[in-house]
Structure 1
Amino acid sequence: MPLKNMENAQSYAVVTKELLKSQVNTNYDDALANVSGIDKLWSATGRPGDGVSYYTLRGFSTQAAMINGVVGISSTSPDPANLETIEVIKGPSGSLYGGAAVGFGGLINNITKKPLDTVGGRVNYIFGSFAQHRLTADIYGPLTADKKLLGRINTALSHTGTYQDAGFNKSVFITPSLTYKPNEKLDIQLDVELYQNKATNPLMVFLNRSRQLFARIPEALQFDFDKSYTANDVTFKNPTTNLRGNVVYRFNERWTSNTTVNWNNRKADGYFQYVMYLQNSNDTLINRYACKQNYAAKNINAQQNFIGDFHIGELRNRLLVGLDYLYQQTETHNSPYVLVDQINTAIDDPDYYKFNAGTIDAAISASTAAKTNNRGRNQVLGAYVSNVLDLTSQLHLNLALRMDYFDNKGTYNFDKDTTTGTYHQTAFSPRFGLVYEAVKGQVSLFANYQNGFKNVSPVVQPHPSISGDFKPQQAKQWEAGVKLDLLNNKLGLTASYYDISVDNMLRPDIVTIDGQTYNISVQDGTRLSRGVDFDVTLAPIQGLNLIMNYSYNNSKMTKADKNVNNLRPTEAGPKHLSNIWANYSLQQGKLKGLGFGIGMNYASENVITNSVATGTFTLPSYTLLNASLSYGFKHFEFAFKANNLGNQTYFKGWTTVNPQMPRNILGSFAYQF
């Protein structure tokens, strides 16, 4: 939809490839630190179903599951080599995107690079601490003399080691794309993404969830975080293929058709392994669990949009009407999870070094537990309409509505020849937005109401008179804020306050029927998330670029199991987050092309376990300092980047303790043509 930021009642942020280049970026997780209100919870695990990194956004967990506006689920985090921009759209945006890939805090949409009608490219080699090596190439240009056929190819070969005693991640990424423009009305785009990797599992220490914790902070755990608790032959692979086709047809100056078809195939093959404290009397004996994965999934996604820009009388309308269809299938043939060994973390336990693929295979062979052999299928049909009505040249009204029909075909068990869990649900998501441009194109006041939903599976209740069928969860957001675009686009700001309430959450309850008590599930649970976001971009003089962001979030369960009622959810992340990055390059003189960058990432304390049964476990706050030095001369670019200059020990987590990278230095050499 042709809508400028100052006319848009939606709060969102954009991370550009130019910003990532100035930061010598090598991974997707670090790229998102440039946006307010978002923080990593888990690194990518590669495990079946949800192997992509988890983030908290406005207090709710979410994943990067959208590519070019359609569902693009993967089993590992996206490689930034093919990204033009990353869009973080805040709030429960179910009115346009449904519930398949949208968290209640917002969604992450990756916009890929497109072919260009000029010849050019960039080859970049990055190297650094802990055996980091990354080679990327981006080449584009016309393939015919009349420039009707354009091509582009992006590739990335990456290897990352570890500061721990074992661990690595290596990958190959190839993304050819074609654009065909036979005339001024028609554009045809074809994209292919081929990804292959081999990696060990990142260390994530699971805490005991059934008793009061003895340790309440990482330092109190007798745990050596320089150990990986894995081995270099305990690996997994996540081969992924994406095929996308997009056709844009312009009927006239007022109406456009946009058709997208996306096919995704992905696998999780190898070992998934984790460690967990489970002893009743101590936090020093830890269990190492593992399973062998054989998982395959495919998605087929089709989307048809009609976009209009027309007047009714003197009132301008920008209308979007669309349909989309999503089919998802998963097939799982996994071994059972087995206890491989138990390690005393308080000492240098000699059994620690015996863990490898062979000991896992032996434990699996000895296990009598059942394997997982099943297939799951579901489909979603959505219809939506959105209109921005210009009541005046400065007052814009947005109304939108989406209907989703979710049909879960159930889970088929190959061993038992049975299908269970079939159900279907229908959900509606309205949206309302109002923008007043107090100064046309420069100062906007905006407010919105947004709705999002998540489908809820039925459960088997213990008494036949109690229904186990449920409605979708519903999230409702009220938001108000201001947007600025001043000084000829040199100063940009988005600041907002939001209030998100969630209804129809499941919680346990006890009922008495005919003198007998039953533990049941009821759907009257509620939750609140409130906060503020600030995003600022500043370019006061030529060569200087500055981004700053800050967010505050206050979340709590307001009607839930008494074990967590009125407590902050563990997925909410730190209450306070702030990030700064400033980059300056000399524009003239003998040192023209010399650049400097400096940045800071701050996160307050993060309560990753929070219940009456366990008490709290808190990750400490941290402040990271980062800096870069670069020089560009003709077609060449040289850069150095230092991350975590102070070598601070810090952690991420979500019911887990996940150690992060210490100080590391990167060097970069690039040739651009």
Structure 2
Amino acid sequence: MLFRLIKNYMRFTRKLFSEILILICICIGLPLANADAQTANEFMIEGVIADEEGKPLPGTSIFITQLKLSTTADDTGHFTLKIKPGKYTVQFSFIGYRRITKTIEVQKDIRSFNVTLASDDNHLQNVEITGRKERSYKASGSFSGSKTETRLQDIPQAISYVTKEVIEDQQAYRALDLIKNVSGANAFSYYENDIVIRGFRASNSLINGLRTISNGWSSSLLSYVEKMEVIKGPASALFANTDPGGTVNMITKKPLNENRKSIMLSTGSYNTTRIAADFTGPIDTSGTFLYRLNLGYQKAGSFRLLQGTEDIVIAPSFTFIPDDKTKVNFELVYARTNGRLDRGQAIFGATADSGSEALYTTPISFAIGKDNDFLNETNLFSTISIQHKVSDKISLNASYMKFMWNEDLLEHRTSNNYAVDEAGIPIPTLMEMRTIRRKQRNYTDNLTLYGVYDVETGPLSHRILLGYDYIQSVFPKDNNSAYNARGYRNAANTGKINTYDPLRKERYLIVNGRPVPNVPHFDLTKPDYAYADINEYFNVPEANEFTPTMYYVNGVYVQDQIKWGKMQVLLGLRKEYYVDVINLKESNEQKVEQSALLPRVGVVYTPMPELSFYGTYTQSYQPQGSSRIGNPDVYGGPFDPLEGKMIEGGLKMEILEKRLAVNIAAYRIVQDNILVPSGDGDILRQIGQQRATGIETDIYGTLSSNLSLLANFSYNKAIITDSNIAGEIGRTMPNAPRSQGNIWAKYVFTNRSLNGVGVALGANYVTERNTQNVNLQLPGYTLMNAALSYSVKKFKMAVNFNNIFDKTHWIGGYDYVRLFPGMPRNFMTSVGYMF
């Protein structure tokens, strides 16, 4: 059934693309055809749309029923329409406000009238079913803090976010492009979800609040993303085992109950070509069925040698609203990336003497690999969400997501070591190499069921939530690794030995004073990227790499949001049962069972509607995976689970008539038992404790109707506080800058001569960071960015300039063989049409 659904959507997509091409041709001709098209009997209506306090509502939809004609209000709430004389029915709608209908009669040259929309207090959802119509850098609510839509000011925890408007204005196309907009967050590497939040490396992620467990390398295009949220600190009390620094939650675009369509074409540096399309609206006249279809395609090169990808995203979704008590949403996202796996830049060996100077021994474009390497990844996930109101006080909610990931990989990569001579002395210009040829897949199921009960007890109002979660992730038996080659050839040249031991050199094939590698060394001074035949190596499947495993979680939780006057208290408790299975369905199957009780306490005091003070305490818990616990010969151990706790306090306020949100948070997070590389092959070791203390500020919104602003700043001290290696105590954790910040401001002119012209300026800076190698530190950097745009009627054109001063920098890194340089000076242009 799933494949039939995909086939039908591919047929539908081909038809849409055909219509898009026709539309583009029509649009190109429209300005010429209509330059003198206005006739004497065509009149203009105009007006301003505002809320009950007189604040403009940009993005409000205006629809004339008889003409099937629509437009939207600009950044000042102003709208214009040219129509013939007559009597018309006009609808005005905006998210969070009651839709109104006016009857107008156009008889004069200019008919001007203003519209006031009243707020709708019943628009909040328990499960996110229908989409958001807001068009601002500022978001008003979130599901991430309490599993029901709650005002951000009422959530006793910091939640940073990046809206689709920022994504569009910055022409960002992957999640990694958005991290700079989040306080206290930066990259660890190029890979999906591999980031640092508040000094702690994070890898867990959510999609619409549902856990996804994937070993994927590449993040898909953002064409289907409405908003990226980062829940700061532990979120285990709501979302099972999560990282102590924070968790990324990607919110997908949902159907809207109004017609909106757009297409955007982009091109820019490194031969980048991109197309994105977004179609949404009601399927029937009653608005019972809604749809949305997001399409994305990109083919791009890279400043990195051998790199470049071809990406496609197809993301349809449907909403069914049979009555005012029931809402159902179904969505499907298919994302494919074809390219190569970029393991990062390798440099000559860093020592205590060379330090960071070794960073410049190879260019930032430098990569290791072969021309015939490839990485093809596919992500396919489907979600169904249901909300049913039993009564005005009770609602039942359910969501289920099936996530499937597939990898097809061939790579030549380093063994994270330099080559050695006969005596075992490293040669810092030659990298020891290995190859990997594998196909693997992962299936993740995520089910969440919960009920919400609103009740009052005397002066207290309660929102009680009782829920159950089930999460399961399986790496099945049919994963395989057909070819893996590494190490050095044996003396008879009939096989290989994984590591070289100079005390037993008689076991190895020695030529010219060096052991002969199974896979030829990579010369950093004379790189060779030519096609390589992996059949020439001694290939042996890695037995431990594809052990079939399963991980599943059963969690029950209760939460009470209590409100008493200006005070709110959030109490939560979750009981979690973790089961890891290694050698799944084999005779030697092994289970590891763990459990945890996770509390959460938060307090919010709101002395005035625009200002809230809050404090919170919460814990995190992460069991070490069975593959690590069950393989002490490979990874070491046994290992204790990761356990963390956080205390946080801060304030959230809305100023300038609630157009601008300012959030300030101070925190202290402690985590025990983190695993780090030991420096001895795959063996891991456990650090006793690390601690992060810091303060963050996030600013979102508009300073005026013309000026939008996004800014953040953070100061964070993340250090090792307990270790069995005395010299590590007090050392800053890898890729955890002491300070970082970002600003992005956009001004749109409205005067006659420059009407529709937008100018944006931005800057982001990061201080120096440690890597996992004690001798290597990444320097700090400051980057400048800018953009120009022009909007006229339904067209928008834009050009973005990034890293204007061409600053050489590194966004993250492991050590001297795996560093991740940032992009040099680049640009991106786009032209879009909305209809």
Alpha-carbon distance in structure 2 between the residues aligned to 1:232 and 1:180? 49
CA drift of 1:507 comes to 9.6
Cα gap change, 1:304/1:221 in structure 2, threshold over 3 Å: closer, same or farther?
same
Instruction: Check conservation: 1:170, 1:197, Cα contact below 8 A.
Output: yes
User: Which consecutive unaligned segments of at least 5 residues does structure 1 have?
Assistant: 45-51, 510-519
CA apart distance, 1:267: 0.8
Equivalent residue for 2:749, pick from 577, 581, 586 = 586
Residue 427 of structure 1 aligns with which residue? 596
The amino acid of 1:169's aligned partner reads T
Distance 1:6 1:186 in 2: 28
Alpha-carbon distance between aligned partners in 1 of 2:821 and 2:754, rounded to the nearest angstrom: 40
Name the residue aligned to 1:382: 555
- Determine the C-alpha separation between the residues in 2 that align with 1:419 and 1:590: 77
Residues 719 and 733 in structure 2, CA contact (< 8 A), matched pair in contact too:
no
The correspondence for 2:523, drawn from 329, 344, 361, is 344
Question: What residue identity is the alignment partner of 1:223?
Answer: T
Instruction: Determine if the alignment matches structure 1 residue 216 to structure 2 residue 216.
Output: no
Q: Which one of 359, 375, 386 corresponds to residue 533 of structure 2?
A: 359
Equivalent of 1:181 in 305, 308, 321: 321
Partner of 2:703: 540
Change in CA separation of 1:361 and 1:136 when aligned onto 2, cut-off 3 Å: farther
**Letter paired with 1:115:** P
Higher mean C-alpha deviation, range 64-73 or range 527-536: 64-73
Paired position in structure 2 for 1:516:
none
TM-superposed deviation, 1:468: 7.3
Q: Which amino acid counterpart does residue 494 of structure 1 have in structure 2? A: N
Please point out which of 362, 375, 392 is paired with 1:253.
Answer: 392
Matched, 1:662 2:824: yes
Q: How large is the Cα RMSD of the aligned pairs?
A: 2.7
Q: In the aligned structure 2, how far is the partner of 1:508 from the partner of 1:17?
A: 38
CA displacement at 1:264 relative to structure 2: 1.0
Once residues 63 and 472 of structure 1 are traced to their aligned partners in structure 2, the CA distance between those partners, rounded to angstroms, is 16
Give yes or no for the alignment of 1:644 onto 2:803. Answer: yes
- 1:274 CA displacement: 2.9
What per-residue deviation string (whole Å, max 9, x for no partner) do you get for residues 303-336 of structure 1?
A: 1021222211120112221101011101331232
Q: Is the 8 A contact 1:272 1:293 kept in 2?
A: no
Q: 1:268 aligns with which of 403, 407, 420?
A: 407
**AA at the equivalent of 1:21:** E
Partner of 1:48: none
- For 1:186 and 1:330, the matched residues in 2 are separated by 36
Alignment of 1:5-24 (within 5 A): 5-24=152-171
Deviation track 1:547-587 (CA, whole Å, cap 9, x = no partner) reads 11111111122222306631435444222111000001112
Q: For 1:258 and 1:232, how far apart are their aligned partners in 2?
A: 50
**In structure 2, C-alpha distance between the alignment counterparts of 1:207 and 1:104, rounded to whole Å:** 32
Counterpart-to-counterpart distance in 1, 2:799 and 2:324: 44
Q: C-alpha separation between the residues in 1 aligned to 2:556 and 2:357? A: 48
Q: Is the 8 A contact 1:200 1:232 kept in 2?
A: no
Moved more, 199-208 or 589-598: 199-208
How big is the shift at 1:200?
Answer: 1.2
Contact 2:220 2:335 in 1 (8 A): no
Larger relative contact order (Cα-Cα within 8 Å, sequence gap ≥ 6): 1
Structure 1 residue 360: deviation in Å? 3.5
Deviation readout 1:269-324 (Å, 9 max, x if unpaired)? 12244334424444322233320121111011111021222211120112221101
Q: Measure the CA separation in 2 of the matches of 1:505 and 1:662.
A: 34
What displacement does 1:461 show? 11
**Alignment partner, residue 300 of structure 1:** 445
CA deviations on 1:352-398 (whole Å, 9 max, x unpaired) are 32543x334433xx2346454431112110111111111x3211111
1:536–1:547 CA contact under 8 A, matched in 2 = yes
Structure 1 residues 216 and 360: alpha-carbon distance in aligned structure 2, compared to 1, 3 A threshold: farther
In 2, Cα distance between the equivalents of 1:468 and 1:268? Answer: 29
Residue number in structure 2 paired with 1:149: 289
Q: Which amino acid aligns with 2:830?
A: S
Does the alignment pair 1:62 with 2:202?
yes
Amino acid at match of 2:776: F
Over 3 Å counting, the alpha-carbon distance change for 1:290 and 1:247 in structure 2 is same
Q: What displacement does 1:616 show?
A: 2.5
C-alpha distance in structure 1 between counterparts of 2:559 and 2:578, whole Å: 21
* C-alpha deviation, 1:213, in angstroms: 5.7
Partner secondary structure for residue 181 of structure 1: strand
Kindly indicate whether residue 594 of structure 2 is the aligned counterpart of residue 455 of structure 1. Answer: no
Q: Counterparts of 2:828 and 2:614 in 1: how far apart (Å)?
A: 42
- Equivalent residues of 1:55, 1:61 under 8 A apart: yes
1:496 equivalenced with 2:665 (yes/no): yes
- Tell me the distance in 2 between the aligned counterparts of 1:243 and 1:353: 43
Pick which of 634-643 and 541-550 moved more: 541-550
Structure 2 partner of 1:291: 436
TM-score between the two structures when normalised by the length of structure 2? 0.72
Q: In 2, distance between residues paired with 1:395 and 1:60?
A: 32
Q: In the alignment, what sits opposite 2:126?
A: none
What letter corresponds to residue 761 of structure 2 in structure 1?
A: I
CA contact (8 A) 1:204 1:658 kept: yes
Letter aligned with residue 491 of structure 1:
L
Q: Residues 180-238 of structure 1, C-alpha deviation per residue, up to 9 Å, x if partnerless?
A: 111111111000111112011224146899x9566421545522333332344311111
| CA–CA distance in structure 2, aligned partners of residues 173 and 361 of structure 1 | 35
TM-score by length of 1: 0.89
SS of residue in 2 equivalent to 1:542? coil
Tell whether the 8 Å contact from 2:368 to 2:522 is kept in structure 1 after alignment: no
Native 8 Å contact 1:215 1:283 kept in 2: no
User: Do 2:578 and 2:593's aligned partners in 1 also have CA atoms closer than 8 Å?
Assistant: yes
Paired position in structure 2 for 1:312: 457
- Equivalent residue in structure 2 for 1:168, among 308, 318, 331: 308
Structure 2: 5+ residue stretches without partners: 1-147, 420-424, 487-517
Secondary structure at 1:489 match in 2? coil
Please say if residues 9 and 448 of structure 1, whose CA atoms lie closer than 8 Å, have aligned partners that are also in contact: yes
Q: Aligned pair in 2 of structure 1 residues 361, 310: CA closer, same or farther (>3 Å)? A: farther
Task: Supply the distance in 2 between the matched residues of 1:214 and 1:286 (Cα, whole angstroms).
Answer: 21
**2:55 corresponds to:** none
Amino acid at match of 1:336: N
Q: Is residue 404 of structure 1 aligned with residue 549 of structure 2?
A: no
Percentage identity across paired residues of the two chains: 24
Instruction: Please report how far the alpha carbon of residue 141 of structure 1 lies from its aligned counterpart in structure 2 after TM superposition.
Output: 1.3
Q: What residue is the counterpart of 2:775 in the other structure?
A: 616
> Does 1:80 pair with 2:222?
yes
Local SS of the residue matching 2:306: coil
CA, structure 1 residues 544+273, in 2 after alignment: closer, same or farther (shift >3 Å)?
A: farther
From the two aligned structures, give the one with the greater strand fraction.
1
Which amino acid in structure 2 is aligned with residue 394 of structure 1? K
Give the residue type in structure 2 aligned to 1:124: M
Cα contact 1:214–1:282 (8 A) shared by 2: no
Q: Which whole-Å CA distance do the structure 2 matches of 1:173 and 1:616 have between them? A: 42
- The alpha-carbon deviation at position 431 of structure 1 amounts to 0.7
Written as runs of structure 1 = structure 2, the 5 A alignment for 1:550-589 is 550-562=713-725, 565-568=728-731, 570-589=733-752
Structure 1 residue identity aligned to 2:824:
P
Cα deviation, 1:97-152, whole Å, max 9, x if unaligned, reads 110xx211010101111111211111011100101111011011111222211111
Contact preservation (8 Å) 2:345, 2:368: no
Q: Distance in 1 between matches of 2:730 and 2:427?
A: 25
Partners of 1:119 and 1:652 in 2: CA distance: 40
Given that 1:42 and 1:53 are in contact with CA atoms closer than 8 Å, whether structure 2 keeps it comes out as no
